[in-house]
Structure formats: structure tokens, C-alpha cells
Chain A
Amino acid sequence: MGNLDLGSIFTLTLFAATFRMATPIIFATMGGIFSSQSGIFNVGLESLLIIGAFFAVVGSVKTGDPMGGLLFAVIACLVATLIFALLHLELKANAIIVGLAMNIFAAGMTNYLLVEMLDATGVYQSDLIIGFKEVHIPLIKDIPFLGDMVSGHFPLVYVAFLSVWVVYLILYKTPFGFHLRAVGEKPQAAVSIGINPKKMKYFGLLVSGLMSAFGGTFLSLSYLNLFAEGMTAGRGWLALAAINFGGSKPVRSLIACLIFGFADALAVRLQQFGLPSQIVLMLPYVSTLIVLLVSAISDERKKKAAASKHRKLNTAKA
């Protein structure tokens, strides 16, 4: 493989790239957390990302402004999640199947509309697409090392990290968040208080659509100003892995997103050196499995310990 200089692989740009590659995953993850905490595992995140990416391009072309693109993406994703919500919450369809169906449908639909609306096949690239511009933060950008990592990102990157904090605040510091989590964790408790589970689940799903719209917009209107078939490349699944990894908690899932973003960035770098990137790309999924295993084993141990403690108390009852 020639002489590998680790220094040439692990450069500052790698870390900067990590934030960039983690961003769409973070958005989808945070949105997915909302719906997961309300009790619905949204398997259709992949479809929401691609819908967001597509309509962001459409919006940008039509309005000449990336914010216009974001708006179109949000509307499209909200419509898609509304359909999901209606099918699952009103017509009682199985959430997993609806999610999978949406993935299939959205892939086809975006490819179809690519031809119909943008007159392109496979990829649409044009000067008409106005993307976001990088943001250079004064002062910070001049700090060595840190500056290169933190400044110079596209605005949505900062929004992504901000969103983690916002999601955390909403879920853990507001009554609404408590009610939502109660619905997801112990619906009977929520119902006995008078909370309407269906309403919460609607919210959960719609938020997952909203945030995925941001994620999709980032994909097509920042680093690359284009739309390509399948450009989400499984990030929706990565988001699910991150949600699982983090136990549906914002900060823990963020860590997973960063790890996955790092894996993504590293994989690209390794590829340039002719090294196997696929193994690195496997990491997110393997790590989720490991986390599942570890927490199952530790749960088992805890349960055994608690039970033997209670048994000692219980045998006091003559």
C-alpha cells in the first residue's frame, strides 16, 4: 500500500469534513428522535431526506434563493409525513410497512419528477441552483486549528448542532416534551392524565418530517449544488442506527452521528489512498449492534441483581 503517513489521513480537513458529513444525519436523527419518543419508529427517514433534497433544488431554482429551496423542502416533507401519519394513525396501517413503502415510493417519485420537472435524468446540475454560502465567523476563523474546524461551514451545519440543543430543551425542559415522552413510554399514564396520544404522535411524525427537510436541503444545496438519484446514500438508515445507538436521546445520538460522520469522511479519505473504505462504512451499523448487545447484557445483569435483592425482602413475609 505504499508508505502511509497517518498525518496525511487525519488532517484538520478530515475533522471539518466530519461535521459536514454528520449534518444531514444529525437532522434526520433529531427528527427521528421526536417521533421515536412519541412511540413511532420512523423507518421512512430515508424517503424524507430524498424528498427534502429534491424539493430544495426545485425551490431554489424557482425562487432563486436557497431559503426558498428550504421552504419547498419543508412543505414537501410535511406533506409526506402527513400521509404517513394518516395511514398509520387513522387507517391503522403498520408503521414499519408504511415507512418502507414510503422509501420505495419516494425513490421512484423523485426520479420521476427529476425528469418531469427538471428535464434531467440521473443528475440535475445547473447554475440556476443557488446554494448556501459558507459562513466565516469573524475572530474564530483566525484561531489556529480550532478556526479551521469550526468556521467556514455552511449555515445549516451550525443549525444542525443548534437543533440538538433545541430538541433537548423541548423534550426535557418543556411540558410538551414530557407529555410526548409519556405517550411513547407509558401511554396509559398519559391517557390517565388526559393527554391525547394521537395528537402527540402526529406532532412527533411531523417534526421528523420538518427536520429531515433540513437534512435533505443540506445535501443538495450546500457542499454540492445538485440533485442526484439516490444521493441520500443510506443516511436515513444511519439516522435510525444513531437513534438506536443513543437510546433516542439527543446528546447520545449526536455522538453517534459524529462517529458516523467521521466514518463517512474517513471512508472518502481512505478511498483516495486506495484503502478499504467499506469496512469503515460498516462501522455505524456494527457499532449499533454492539451497543444493542452491551445494553441487553447489562440490563439482564441489573434485573438479576434487583430480583435477588427483592427476593430477600420478600421472604421476610411469613
Chain B
Amino acid sequence: MLNKSRKPAAVPIYKRIIVDAGTQIANYIIILFISISIGALVIYLSGMDPLAAYLALIKGAFGNGIKTADTLDRSTVMILAGIAGTIAFRTNVINLGLEGQLYIGAFAAALVGFSFTGLPKAVHIPLCLMAGMLGGAIWALPVIYMKLRWNITELVTTLMMNYIGIRFTEYLIAFPFKDPGARLAGSPVLEASARLPKLVQGSTLNIGFIIAIAIAIFMFWFLFKSKTGYEMRMVGLNKDFAAASGISVNRSYTLAMMMSGAIVGLGGAIMITGFFGRFLGSFSSGYGWDGMMIALLAQNHPLGVIPASIFYGALANGALAMQSATGVPQTVVVMVKGTVVFFVTVTAFVRIIRRRFTKWVT
């Protein structure tokens, strides 16, 4: 097998760096722009005013302090799901089980939340959150074991564990942990000592948001400044190279999978202890999947996940206001989200942008 040597670069290298960075930013902006435009087109085609609709949406999301706070609250679970997706993708682990890990983490937190009474807040809350992380991580364990021991692709196993997780929690709240008084299927209500303190009066925003931001910042440090993060990134970029250099590929895969599960599990825990106050069946409208898409949109950069999540949060929060103000249904927002993802998947797009940039720079 002959190793073909690469031809020297035709373009001077410093210009290539500009092209690299510029491409990333341009990609991000252009995708968002196109998706928003397509949303506008859809609205226009259904006979309504896109500008008014978007304005109503923005007002609904950021119109005043309370609304902004609510938007940030909505983005909390997205940030965590996005970070969970990021750490997995960076290590080249395909974790499609975020939704299931979210549910398990949420339930674990709820369990600790309603099972213990008389605990001070300073103890109860961390316990719940840690339970959430543990739940998510444990749910990821069988997947990584099967991958390392028998080389069974995590693509399929995480998908399966997803639905097993969701059904399992459904079972738990329908039978052993049923709350007889509730109208909607759910667990018993959490103790007050397990509830996250609010940040803004009149809004649902709670310290969960701070925790999510902290995790994002931590992940930035972890991936780019820590030893282990470096290992995981190298494994993700080229596992053969990593192995030949002495890095333990299996260890990196395991860490990636478990951290991913733990972080999205934490997201579930925060949703329950912060927003819902009990574990509700079907509480997630696909936040796990959104997280994956956000990670892609942010090009797997932890800090980039924050604005992307806030964007998603704004879409979610403003959609209702848009609907009541202009009559444009919320589902337009889902389509915008979907379009974003379509374009993100198209790497050819990136190539075209790159080529244009290169021409412009040289």
C-alpha cells in the first residue's frame, strides 16, 4: 500500500488560516440566515406577514426582562444537551441516546427529590443533581461496554437504549412511583427543599441556567486546556494516531460516553428540579435531539453551544407569543430548526464557502 505524498500547498499558509477561521464563522451565519429566510418564505406563502411574525417572535422571546429570563430558562436544557453532544462528537462517539439519558437522569433526580424529607436545600439540591448525572452516566454504561468488548456499534445501541429509557421511566411513574393525585402521569411532587432557587421574580429562570453556563465553560476548559480533553480530541481526530502515541483509546471512548450521559442527565435533573417540580411523562419535546443538532450547529465548540441554545430557546419561547399575536402557528419554528439542521449537514456547503473565501483572500 503506497503512501502518496501530498503536494505542497498552492496557497500560502497564513492565508489558509484566515480562510479556515472565516469559513467557520461564515458557515454559522449563512446557515442561520438561510433558515430564517426559508421560515419567512413559508410564512409569506401562507398569506401572513413574515416581518410581523418574526418581530412578534423576538418580542415574545426578548421583549422584556421577564421574557428574556424565560428564554434563557428554556435554553438551559439545550445548553446541557448540546454540551453532551459536543463531548461525544469530539471523541467520535455516536451518542444517539441523549433523549433516553435525559429521561433517566430526570427521573433519578425526581426520585431523590421526593424520597427524602427534612434535608436542607444545600444538601438536597446537589444530591438531586448528582443523581441526575449518575443516572445519565449509568444509562450509557451498557452501550460503552458492548462497544469495547464486542465492537457493537453505539449507533444502534444508543438508539435502542433511548426508547428503553423512555418506556422504563413511563413504567416507573405509572406503577411503582405513581402519584395518585395527579391528573397528568407523573411522579410524586418533589420536596420544596429539592427545588432550584429562582433567579428572577416572575420568571421560571433558576440557578440551573448558571449551572449550564458553568458546565459549558468547564467543557471549554476541559476540551482545550486539560490533559484528558486533549486525549479525547486526538482520539476523535484519529484514533490510530492516538493509540500509536500511547493514548488509551478505550478510556477516551468510555469517558466521552459517560460524560455525555451525565451532562444530559444533569439537564434532565435541572428541568425537573427547576421547572416542573415533579417528573412528568413526556416532559421533553425532543431536547435530546435538539442538543445533537445544536452541537452540530456550534461545530462542536462548547462556547458556541451557548448562543445556539439561546437561539433555540428564543424560538421556543417566542413561538407561542408569535402565534397569539399574528396567528402564525408555532410549528413554523420547528421547520426553521429543521432547515438549520439540513444545511448544517451539508459539508459541501462549507466547501463552497471555503472556496469563495480563498478566492477573496488571494
Contact = CB atoms under 8 A, between A and B. Distances in A.
A111 B319 CA distance: 14
Contacts of A112: 42, 329, 331-332, 334-335
Interface string B311-339: 00000000000000000010111110111
A273 to B, nearest CB: 13
Interface string A72-93: 0000000000000001001111
B334 A115 contact: no
A292 B146 contact: yes
B349 to A, nearest CB: 7
A276 B329 contact: no
B150 interface: yes
Contact of B337 (A102, A108, A240, A297): A108
A237 B296 contact: no
B62 interface: no
Contacts of A116: 46, 329
A278 B341 contact: no
B338 A105 contact: yes
A269 to B, nearest CB: 16
Given A100-B292, A101-B342, A292-B156, A286 B164 contact: yes
A300 B346 CA distance: 37
B346 A91 contact: yes
Interface in B49-105: 94, 96
B293 interface: yes
B345 A97 contact: yes
A87 B342 contact: yes
A104 B289 contact: yes
B152 A91 contact: no
B289 A276 contact: no
B346 A104 contact: no
A109 interface: yes
Contact of A108 (B162, B331, B344, B349): B331
Nearest to B175: A276
Contacts, number: 138
B151 interface: yes
Nearest to A112: B331
Contact of B331 (A93, A100, A111): A111
Nearest to A284: B163
A282 interface: yes
Contact of A109 (B289, B292, B338): B338
B231 interface: no
B327 to A, nearest CB: 9
Contacts of B347: 91-94
Contacts of B292: 100
B332 A104 contact: no
Interface of B: 42, 46, 94, 96, 142, 146, 150-152, 155-157, 159-164, 167-168, 170-171, 174-175, 286, 289-290, 292-293, 296, 329, 331-335, 337-339, 341-342, 344-349
List of 7 A-B pairs having minimum Cβ-Cβ separation, nearest first: A108-B334, A105-B338, A112-B331, A278-B171, A101-B341, A93-B345, A296-B150
